[in-house]
Chains A and B, each alone.
Chain A
Amino acid sequence: MGLECLVCIKMVPDTTNIRINPETGTLIREGVPSIINPYDLHALEAAIALKKEYGGRVTVVSMGPPGAKTLLQEAVEQGADRTVLLSDRKFAGADTLATSYTLARAIEYLARETPFDFLFFGKQAIDGDTAQVGPGVATRLHLPLVTYVQQIRSVSLESKTCVLERKLEEGIEVVEARFPLVLTCEKEIARESFAPLVNLIRAKTHEPLVFSASEPVAYEPGKLGLKGSPTRVHKVFTPELRQSGEKYKVEEIGVEKAVDLIVEKLRELGIL
């Protein structure tokens, strides 16, 4: 038996010094080193921890350019069994709606024989911070959704339920959920672990399955990539800075005067 787990990982640029193509408003990826979105790595670790405890299999899916293959090999180093890369020019330029469509259809395809019990997503991707793809896939697959999971407390294979902790603004919510389900993960859900040597060796020769826009999944072409993305970048601009005010050097005016200035201002503003 065991648990059939799926993890969606996204390739993201490893820097904030990203350049933008001013005409299209899209990211210039050349020359920017790429990493697995950090939250997704924690999600992957959580899936691998489930496999260790209950047996089963971990499948990793990523939609991205061919270069994302190396990240899938990294996922194998960490303990993934099967990896799938969705790569095609027709997928490019997808917003979260098109991305969730592309992923959901591929996941349906992969689940034909053995359905997934747990579908892991990162809480959000650090390049866009949108946090929409996980909930989007859950909606498309009609699966229960639990977001911001920081701990998997327990899993019952008999009743097909699990107890999860969610990290919310005002505290921790503990929920019981039926699976199959989609969860989006906080970093706390699992620690990064060191890849065992056998995995490193296996990863070297690992080849991800590659799915295109035409094979093996049957997609509606109008729902893919830029075409299938309702949102358009209307314009990009650099934010205007607010005006600065007075500035003093403390070595010139002295500490007491500096403190005077702060206190005066706090009084004026009615704070003191």
Chain B
Amino acid sequence: MSKKIWVIVESKEGKAHPVSWELLGKARELAGPEDELGAVVVGYKIDSVAQEALEYGATRVYVLDAPVFAYYRNLPFREAIVQLAKKYTPDIILLGATTLGRDLGSAVATSLETGLTADATELALDEKGHLLATRPAFGGNIMATISWPEHKPQMSTVRPRVFPLPQKVATPQGEVIQENIELKEEDIPVKRLEFIPKEKGVNLEYAEVIVAGGKGIAEKKDFELLFELAKLLGGEVGASRAAVDAGFIGYEHQIGQTGKTVRPKVYLGFGISGAVQHRVGMQESDYIIAVNQDPLAQIFSIADLGLVGDLYQILPSLLKRIKELKES
């Protein structure tokens, strides 16, 4: 029997969040040739997002384009997805585990009286085509695979960067279906008054190079060294929770179970012990370099290049060397 696997595409001001394409890529991997790969695009003036969904392999794109969807609010988006799901009965619905996806996903799952696995780190199908969603449980010490064959749709949220961004397909072949929903602005109980963008966002999830610091950094001002190195390498600065809790750096830099999931080309960790809650957020990095004084630090169990030593010896020399290289 053919299945319908849907991805709810997240977009802001006509720009899609890459997590949606990451999910579509994963769905493409799971789906059989007969299966529908649905992309649900809800927003205002979102033709280009619908187009992009086709390019990332959607075989059907459901579009809801109206002014009430100009920015995200729970009620209209929930109504929209629930209505579509009732009409077309998808088997599986996937969303990004972003603030939007978590807000929307749980409301939709409740309306449809079905289960949702939050923050999955792996998705698979069982032999009958039911979703198996795996997520870290209890501090990342164990992984739990969740299933619920008796309910449909099976829903899951997945964090950005858990799956890689897929290639676009050579010849997009999906169809676009325009949908409609009766919703009046007056009936929506929440209105945006203002949006204050962050001065300088930290784009940790999508950084190619991450220079991360932990509690091995002695004081706040020493994080400057990491910022300097990150700048030289064109990367971002990450941190362990211990460094964030110590007030050395803001929470938006935190990597791990309660921070962000990253998968840079290179992760350089200085003075990070590599606790499991930190590792779950960075172990998908392509290459891991770790500097730590303690030869038994857990970070060495996953590092590709481990250097047992004092970061205060290595970091200044490394900065000096890279600057010389850049000048010559």
Question: Could you tell me which A residues sit within 8 Å of B by CB distance?
Answer: 16, 18, 20, 25, 27, 95-97, 100, 126-136, 138-140, 144-148, 163, 166-178, 181, 229-239, 241-251, 255-256, 258-259, 261-263, 265-266, 269-272
Binds A, one of B22-30, B31-39, B169-177, B317-325: B317-325
B96 CB, nearest partner CB in chain A, Å: 11
A250 lies within 8 A of B195 (CB): no
**Count of A-B contacts judged by CB separation below 8 Å:** 244
Identify the interface centre among A169, A249, A258: most chain B CB within 10 Å of its CB: A169
Task: Using CB atoms, name the residue of chain B closest to A184.
Answer: B103
Out of B146, B191, B289, name the residue touching A232 (CB < 8 Å).
B146
Q: How far is the CB of B168 from chain A (nearest CB, A)?
A: 22
| Residue among B192, B198, B306 making CB contact with A245, cutoff 8 Å | B306
12 contacts between A and B (CB under 8 A): A128-B118, A132-B109, A138-B74, A173-B195, A175-B191, A175-B192, A231-B147, A231-B148, A239-B140, A239-B143, A241-B283, A262-B307
**Which residue of chain B is the closest to A127 with respect to CB atoms?**
B138
Known A18-B141, A175-B190; 20 more pairs at CB < 8 Å: A16-B277, A20-B142, A139-B107, A170-B201, A173-B194, A174-B193, A174-B194, A174-B196, A176-B191, A230-B115, A230-B148, A232-B147, A236-B137, A244-B301, A244-B304, A250-B307, A256-B317, A258-B309, A272-B322, A272-B325
Main secondary structure of the interface of B (DSSP, over half): mixed
Enumerate chain B residues within 8 angstroms of A167, measured Cβ to Cβ: 99
Q: A148 with B74: in contact, given A132-B106, A239-B142, A248-B307 (CB under 8 Å)?
A: no
Chain A residues with CB below 8 A from B268, complex form: 262
A185 CB → nearest B CB, Å: 13
How far does the Cβ of B141 sit from chain A's closest Cβ, in whole Å?
7
**Chain A CB within 8 A of B46 CB:** no
A-chain residues with CB within 8 Å of residue B258 when the two chains form the complex: 126, 129
Q: Which residue of B lies closest to A147 (CB)?
A: B103
Task: Check if A263 sits within 8 Å of B110, measured CB to CB.
Answer: no
Q: Using Cβ atoms and an 8 Å threshold, which residues of chain B touch A266? A: 233, 266
For residue B265, which residue of chain A has the nearest CB?
A269
Distance of A80 from chain B, by nearest CB (Å):
26
Are the C-beta atoms of A131 and B102 separated by less than 8 Å?
A: yes
Q: A18-B138, A136-B110, A181-B189 are known contacts. Are A262 and B309 too (CB-CB below 8 A)?
A: no
Instruction: List the 5 closest pairs (A to B, CB-CB), nearest first.
Output: A250-B309, A16-B139, A230-B115, A132-B106, A247-B306
Choice from A230, A249, A269 contacting B151 with Cβ under 8 Å = A230
**A145-B283 Cα distance, complex, nearest whole Å:** 35
Which residues from chain B contact A242 at a C-beta distance below 8 Å?
283, 302
- Enumerate chain B residues within 8 angstroms of A258, measured Cβ to Cβ: 307, 309, 314
Contact B143 A237 (CB under 8 A): yes
User: A139-B107, A246-B306, A262-B289 given as contacts; is B114 within 8 A of A230 (CB)?
Assistant: yes
